[in-house]
Amino acid sequence: MSTEAFDAVDVIRTKRDRGRLSDAQIDWTIDAYTRGGIADEQMAALNMAILLNGMDRAEISRWTAAMIASGERMDFSSLRTPDGGVKPTTDKHSTGGVGDKITLPLAPLVAVFGVAVPQLSGRGLGHTGGTLDKLEAIPGWRADLSNAEMLDQLQDVGAVICAAGSGLAPADKKLYALRDVTGTVEAIPLIASSIMSKKIAEGTGALVLDVKVGSGAFMKDEASARELAETMVALGTDAGVRTVALLTNMRTPLGLTAGNAIEVEESVEVLAGGGPADVVELTVRLAEEMLAAAGVHDADPAAALRDGRAMDVWNRMISAQGGDPHAALPVARESEVVYAQADGILTELDALQVGVAAWRLGAGRARKEDPVQAGAGVRMHAKPGDPVRRGQPLLTLLTDTPERFERAQEALEGAAVIAPEGARPDQRLVIDRIAE
């Protein structure tokens, strides 16, 4: 005879029939699935019912809390300011894009102003790059830190970018794998709770969400990106984490690189006071939001990029994790150039197609256990809005394995749109700001 508090089939029927799950049902469901008391096929059915019928704010909040309760919760209250007060913490999460290296200059930039940045990051899958893959292109750098190492580095350096431990929201790992193979990844309540359970369990006091919208993003249209952003802001608020979201444009890749080592190189250019204007703009804007959320309102992040303070923190952060910030980065053995086919204005450079090309060149992975090439990727020589001439280099493809060039070229067919003089694309970077 079963000693379970609920029956999985009853829970599935409730949501199938557009009912509302009780707090007790949600708590039991997450706990039972994590420990094996609910079968994969039953959770798959419930996920599909949630995809089709949704959840209200209270349900999503409770679902997220139950996922957090499945594991440990980090505590940064031991971090101290020079005068002995509790050091504020703030973090950023991006929903993923192409050329999105913003975390690399952003974490040390925010740390300049005395705010700790515990940036737990992941690896890339498919066309979206992973922050840890990029940093692992730096000789000696390591992603895996113990909680004690992370706390020591936050106290000493102020910023850490590392892998999340397996103890944070373990229910999410199991749920995500199931969603991935059952066509339920797109369910906004499940996306939002997946992201926010880990971020809230991480223990940060404030959180800024960079929700991408466009061809290279998970959310292709503004309405769905806005719904996801609003849902996540509500979850953070309900959990007592000061949360704000920016909707940002991912129709075009960020910066002029998509890969691993080449994105690190570009990030260092930003930290040196240069770099592409869009990467600088978004880095500074997100830094301002993170600092404001942490209670720091008189900071000038742009100045800290120009005068070298952010670079100093970067060098210390990389060194603390075993990396050599001054070492030469890996370079791909082979390259191939894509040329402009007409004169005019580059009005479009499709982020998804560039991301897929970088992935096919070896910068990304199809399965989480696949290796990546540190030097592979795509360099862009023009951005939408730039004038170009026929025969001018538009892109340089980079890889160690030249047999990959053909499929990368196929991915790029039609990616660059060149229109007659006078045409101008929509170049908004930040589309909207969402807060409660």
Query: What pLDDT does residue 125 have?
Result: 67
pTM beyond 0.75, yes or no: yes
Q: Side chain identity at 269, as an amino acid letter?
A: E
Instruction: Please pick, among 62, 92, 93, 242, the residue that the annotation labels catalytic.
Output: 93
Whether the per-residue pLDDT at 311 is higher than 50: the answer is: yes
Q: Report whether pLDDT(433) > 50.
A: yes
Task: Write the pLDDT tens digit of every residue in 66-97.
Answer: 999 999 999 999 999 999 999 999 999 999 89
Enumerate the β-bridge partners of residue 345. 387, 419
- The DSSP H or E segment spanning 151 is helix 147-156
Picking from 101, 152, 81, the residue whose alpha carbon sits closest to that of residue 321 is: 152
Catalytic residue among 198, 242, 285, 360: 198
* Non-local CB neighbours of 16 within 8 Å, separated by 6+ positions: 45, 49, 53
Phi, psi of 325 (to 5 degrees): -65, -15
- What's the pLDDT tens digit per position in 218-243? 899 999 999 999 999 999 999 999 99
Residue 124 has pLDDT above 80, yes or no: no
Kind and range of the H or E run holding 339: strand 334-339
CB 55 within 8 A of CB 63: yes
Yes or no: say if 4 and 32 are a contact pair by the CB < 8 Å rule: yes
Q: Residue 366's pLDDT band (boundaries 50, 70, 90)? A: confident
pLDDT at 1: 43
Which member of 100, 133, 172, 278 is catalytic?
A: 172
- Whether 194 is catalytic: yes
Mean pLDDT of the chain, nearest integer: 94
Query: Edge-to-edge, what's the strand order for the sheet holding 257-259?
Result: 257-259, 377-380, 393-399, 334-339
Out of 70, 94, 193, 194, pick the active-site residue.
Answer: 194
- pLDDT of amino acid 343: 93
pLDDT confidence tier of residue 2, bands split at 50, 70 and 90: low
User: Which amino acid, one-letter code, is at 97?
Assistant: G
400 an active-site residue? no
Ranking 163-177, 275-289, 330-344 by mean pLDDT, the lowest is 163-177
Cα–Cα distance list, 260 to 129, 220, 302, 354 (Å): 8, 24, 25, 14
Q: 100-114, 117-131, 234-248, 399-413: lowest mean pLDDT where? A: 117-131
Evaluated on CA atoms 90, 96, 102, 104, the torsion sign reads positive
Instruction: Report pLDDT for 422.
Output: 67
Q: Mark whether 198 is an active-site residue.
A: yes
Out of 92, 179, 199, 285, the active site residue is: 179
Is the pLDDT confidence value at 427 over 80?
no
- The string of DSSP codes covering 100-149 is --THHHHHHHHHTTT-BEEEEE---BTTB--HHHHHTTSTT------HHH
First to last CA, the chain: 47
pLDDT of residue 128: 79
- For residue 367, count CB atoms less than 10 angstroms from its CB and return exposed for 0-12, middle for 13-18, buried for 19 or more: exposed
Contact present, 339 and 203 (Cβ < 8 Å): no
Question: Is 80 exceeded by the pLDDT of residue 126?
Answer: no
For the chain, give the percent of residues with pLDDT over 70: 98
Q: Residue 21 — pLDDT band, cuts 50, 70, 90?
A: very high
Q: Does residue 154 register a pLDDT over 90?
A: yes
Query: 91-105, 195-209, 421-435 — which is least confidently predicted?
Result: 421-435
Whether 176 and 194 have beta carbons less than 8 Å apart is answered as yes
Tell me if 84 sits within 8 A of 240, measured CB to CB: no
Of 22-36, 159-173, 298-312, 383-397, the one with minimum mean pLDDT is 159-173
242 beta partners: 206
- Residue range 112-119: mean pLDDT, rounded: 96
